[in-house]
Amino acid sequence: MTSPADPHTRTWSHINGSSQDVLDRYAVTELCKGWPVYRDASEWKNYRSLFTDDACVWTTWSSDLPVDEFIQVSKEGKKNGVFIMHRECGTLAELGDSRTRAIGKMKATITHRFSEGGVAYDVDCDCRFIFFCEKQTATQEWKAKYVKLFYEKDKVVPVDGQTVPKWDKCELSTYPEGYRHLAMAQAKLGYKIDVNLPTPHDKGLWKRMYGEMENWLEGREVDLHWA
């Protein structure tokens, strides 16, 4: 479970405020929702428009990739039958004091369909997408420079209501709690899993992620590339 302690050290513009603040936060939340809407539907031009030229994204199965490479491997995965969908469950945004940076927080469920030994099943993973966004000087448009997720809990869901694969518990335990079932199933497809993603069960990475979010909002450099 998550800690009862507030992970933020202060608050930023997140509700109410001036009309411009409300419009900026709305633009950021609209941008965040483009991930599930556009990626799931393979609307790649619309999806690419969400990001800066040099954007980088992280997932369990891709680790960190420049967004153009991520789009390419996503296309290849879909061509090979990889079936990943996203259910958006609520999105809010925080504006930095300069009003040129923002953090978008999108609660979502990743649902990935698998088939193993003739058994079809889904792995559902509850997570929070964190969008590190910046307002472009020339256009005044909001774009995402980084996207990284908190992975909070996951489960195996039988498609027929009763049948799921049997996995070795020792092997399963080698993956982080929060996304270990998703990681196990994706590893069986040949993906190299990133095991250094923040979960509420790893307080070090959890706190580090919040620290980088605050660095971003306060205009400082951020480091999201964790070995």
Domain map (residue ranges) of the chain:
19-218
Average pLDDT (180-193) is 97
Whether the CB-CB separation of 127 and 152 falls below 8 Å is answered with yes
Mean pLDDT, residues 148-164 taken together: 96
Query: Reduced to 3 DSSP states, what percent helix, strand and coil does the chain have, rounded to the nearest 5?
Result: 30, 35, 35
Average pLDDT over residues 115-139: 96
Q: Please, which pLDDT band fits residue 1 given cuts at 50, 70 and 90?
A: low
Instruction: Domain 19-218: give its CATH code.
Output: 3.10.450.50
Whether the full predicted model's pTM is greater than 0.95, yes or no, is yes
In the predicted model, what is the mean pLDDT of residues 210-214? Answer: 98
Query: Of the candidates 12, 37, 30, which has an alpha carbon nearest to the alpha carbon of residue 102?
Result: 12
| Average pLDDT score over residue span 121-150 | 98
pLDDT tens string 47-72: 999 999 999 999 999 999 999 999 99
How high is the pLDDT of residue 227?
Answer: 73
32-48 burial, b for 16+ CB within 10 Å, e for fewer? bbbbbebbeeeeeeebe
- Find the DSSP H helices in 95-199: 169-172, 180-187
